[in-house]
Amino acid sequence: MIAVELVKLFRRPRTWVTIALLNALPVLVAVLLALTDLGPRPGEGPAFLSAVLTNGNLYPLAALAIVLPLFLPIAVAVVAGDSVAGEAQGGTLRYLLARPAGRTRLLVAKLVAAFVFVLVAVVVVAAVGYVTGSVLFGVAPTGTTTFSGTTLSSQQIVVRTLLAIGYVTFSMLGVAAFALFFSTLTDSPLGATLGALAVLITSSLLFTLDAASSIAPYLPTRYWLSYVDLFRDPILWRDIVRGVGLQAVYLVVLLGASWANFTTKDVTS
Amino acid sequence: MPLLRPRSALRWSLVGLLVLLLAALPSLVGRLPAADADRSAADLRAAVLASGDVAFSGYAQSAGGLTLPLTDTFTGIADLFSDRATMRTWYRSAQDWRTDVVTATGETGTHRDATGTWTWQYEDDEATRARVFPLSLPIAPDLLPSDLGRRLLSQAADDELTRTGAERIAGRDALGLRLVPADVASSVSHVDLWVDAATGVTLRVEVFGGDASAVGVVTGEPALSTGFLDVDFTEPAASVTAFTPPPGADVETDEGLPVLDGGRTPDQSPLPAELAGLPRQDVEGVERSVGVYGRGITQLVVVPIPGRFADRLRGQLDVAPGAVLDDLGVRLSAGPLGLMIATGPRGATYLLAGTVTSETLASVAGQLPTTGGRG
């Protein structure tokens, strides 16, 4: 059933259109930077963007920083929000459940498909970023400078970039879990997507308020950008570990709620 | 018809139980009781003062609520006392440490060695070498609880200290200590410190302002708080605290702040041995034209400053909410921090800054010497 869901997901043109659109902005930014040679100062603009003019190796990270706050969560919420609600809206959910596979297996298949989409989307953004960065900015022969003023070799950059890709992917699984949960509550994919985005916008807004500082450690978006801590020396693991832990909690709770709801609800469409 | 069928109710109960457990976990961990110890305030103070040799690394946050109207001239200080700063620190000894102020997209690191400091600013791609100045403006590493605690207690008298129970801080048992300055000139009502029971390193400091009418003072809230969130008493490696400027970075030399060098007004009359009851301290290496007055937490720095610089500062203080303008100059209390541009009878101008009350600032301004030779 998982294979069926994966084939269905990646045969849909809109899946690839979504991934293509996701890459449009980082590519546009790279072209503009290359044409004008006007990068932001270090510490300004999306993380790592200031450094890419001298080292295209870092563009995968800059590309992730560009799409992470808005476009990537939207893409993930659209796909995951469609998982169950899309079938219900299309009138196919009843037929899917008529098979002996059972609701839990269907939910797991939908879940895996959404997670694979997250991984593919993040890896494609990073890969397109790498190609774009290498072609437009070249690769620095002397390595790159960390936030702390030390120099990383090319090998160290590769390892830390892979860790960053893994972290961003895991962070996005939380978004997928929210959207999937809402998808089991409603027959409207748009409603499920907007529900997940509403949670993320609320979280991002609260994070900027001092008055909400007591609940900040529990906000789902709190640690999203902590992957930049991989580029300090020594690596600052504190927020990265907390980010992984927090997303794991959201995953367990939301997937549990999705299971509790989906396996007991009345399916009429 | 029941609201939930039995199977549905069971599954939702399981989810609800899981949520309750996960939600309660941080609160339960936070309520772990701290072990108090039968140690006197004087004993604890001695432990803090002896903690300069304790090696550790940590992660700390400071938060200030002081709105200083000095954004044009002393931007760093204004930000330091009004913002939240997140710091990582590695401490091997008083002459071998590193503290980074980390932000979402960069960091500023201060590396101390035997002869001075390197300051690395990622945002400017700049490394700055500086010698150790006898008197300098405060920077973020000065707000680390370990350093601030030692400084605040260095001249405290035993009768100014009391014990205040214990708390769990950064996973350690921390013993409470309260400092209430005896000096009536002090603008600080009290300071609460929590000291690691095993090592004497200060883990948290909260400074409370005494004048409720001062700008930024919220009753019951600290004007400045700083504390460790994580701390590890394993000695950090020497390679972590060392610094070499990266290739391609700008390398600068810091010559110190001219305003703390006597303001280049060598014709100023010497400052007296006492101002408004505050005795002058003998700080080695400081220009004679700069005066450091007071004791312990009650400190006042008196610096003669050149007219143009004074005009810029006065321009900012004049329009600040809560500023007092009179014949003596303009003064402002931001939490426990007092600032004044004092004008002498013959045009001499002084910057007064410290943890003293507004009345003390006025009293000091009235006792400042006039200009000397050229007038």
Residue ranges of domains in chain B, CATH in brackets: 41-254 (2.50.20.10), 258-367 (3.40.1000)
Quote the pLDDT of residue B335: 80
**Count of A-B CB contacts under 8 Å:** 81
% of chain B beyond a pLDDT of 90: 41
Over residues B138-145, mean pLDDT = 88
Q: CA torsion angle for B156, B162, B165, B169 (degrees, to 10)? A: -10
* Chain centroid to CA B126: 25
Q: Residue for token digits 């700390």?
A: B60
- Asked if B88 and B100 touch (Cβ cutoff 8 Å), the reply is yes
What ipTM describes this predicted complex?
0.82
What does the angle CA B317 – CA B320 – CA B323 come to, to the nearest 5 degrees? 75
Plot region of B296 (φ>0 → left; ψ -120 to 50 → alpha; else → beta): left
B106: nearest CB among A42, A150, A263: A42
Kindly report the nearest CA distance between residue A47 and chain B, in angstroms. Answer: 6
Q: Which residues of A touch B106 (CB under 8 A)?
A: 42-43, 147
Mark yes or no for CB contact B15/A253 under 8 Å: yes
% of chain A beyond a pLDDT of 70: 94
DSSP codes joined into one string, B54-70? --EEEEEEEEE----S-
Helix extents (H) in chain B: 6-30, 41-49, 75-82, 145-153, 238-241, 307-318, 358-367
Cα distance between residue B117 and residue B254, in whole Å? 10
Cα distance between residue B69 and residue A173, in whole Å? 45
- Asked if A189 and A88 touch (Cβ cutoff 8 Å), the reply is no
Kindly report the nearest CA distance between residue B18 and chain A, in angstroms. Answer: 7
Q: Residue for token digits 């590396």?
A: B111
Q: Which residues of B touch A45 (CB under 8 A)?
A: 105
Average pLDDT of chain B is: 85
pLDDT at B73 over 70: no
Least confident of A173-177, B78-82, B134-138: B78-82
What 8-state DSSP symbol labels residue B280? Answer: B
Over residues A84-112, mean pLDDT = 79
Mark yes or no for CB contact B18/A252 under 8 Å: yes
Q: Using 50, 70 and 90 to split pLDDT, how confident is the model at A224?
A: very high
The tokens describing B315, both together, are: 């321009």
Residue B302 has phi, psi (to 5 degrees) of: -115, 120
Return the higher-pLDDT residue of A122 and A103: A122
pLDDT tens sequence across B166-219: 999 999 999 999 999 998 899 999 999 999 999 999 999 999 986 666 655 566
Cβ neighbours of residue B34 under 8 Å, at least 6 residues apart? B166, B167, B168, B173, B174
Quote the pLDDT of residue B371: 44
- Reference A65, options A53, A48, A82; nearest CA is A48
pLDDT at B339 over 90: no
Mark yes or no for CB contact B11/A263 under 8 Å: yes
- Asked if B130 and B122 touch (Cβ cutoff 8 Å), the reply is no
- Asked if A92 and A269 touch (Cβ cutoff 8 Å), the reply is no
The tokens describing A217, both together, are: 């450690």
Mark yes or no for CB contact B19/A253 under 8 Å: yes
Quote the pLDDT of residue A100: 63
Cα distance between residue B335 and residue B340, in whole Å? 14
% of chain A beyond a pLDDT of 90: 55
Length of chain A: 269
Return the higher-pLDDT residue of B311 and A125: A125
Q: Using 50, 70 and 90 to split pLDDT, how confident is the model at B44?
A: very high
Over residues A202-220, mean pLDDT = 90
